[in-house]
Amino acid sequence: MASNAGSFAVAEHYLCAYLAHSLLYGKKENIARVNEVRDIYNVPAIPLPDENYASRDEYGRSRIDSVEIKVRKYYGQMSPNKQKEILTSCLKLLRAQTDLFGHKNDWLSVMLVVRDRLDGSINQNNFSDFARSITPKDWPEGLRISDHTPKNFSRLLAAEDRMEAYYDMNDNPQARLCDKLWDIIIQSILTEIP
């Protein structure tokens, strides 16, 4: 109907309805048909999205291939023992490379990174046992998590930030530690990927 409408002003209404229907039902191949009709009326074609258009973030990076997704996916495929082994190794590297982890309350950063980047089932209630399972054997006694440490988390974070991911918080007092730990985890897991 659009190609026989006689003018683009009339044809455009048909094309918009056809295009809306096509997009609603995921038939992006119909954009080419719309462009054929637009060509009849000497109207510029609608640019076709590249194959990975829907899988790109706001910076044009591929979401499918993003490092964070690969790391999270590979971590999820590891056995629980392997996950703990990797995190233990990362904690050792963190202490060897920086002086950012110097207090028991710094376990908050570990919980936030693991919860927000790797395992959403980790929370304040189950973190003490998890932290003990990833604590390196040679970890200083003064830095080992206690049963009371998670109770301090609510004092360290503003109420409006407690439900946010650590990287979206308005005021994360341990942002540097979180970022450094995440960088170490990324590097450690990427070296494990075959």
Residue 62 has pLDDT above 80, yes or no: no
Residue 34 has pLDDT above 70, yes or no: yes
Residue 90 has pLDDT above 90, yes or no: yes
For range 137-154, the mean pLDDT: 87
Can you give the residue ranges of every domain in the chain? 8-48, 67-190
- Round the CA-based radius of gyration of the chain to a whole number and report it: 26
> What separation in angstroms does the CA of 41 have from each of 94, 148, 163?
64, 73, 54
∠ CA 148-151-157, nearest 5°, is: 140
What is the reported pTM?
0.65
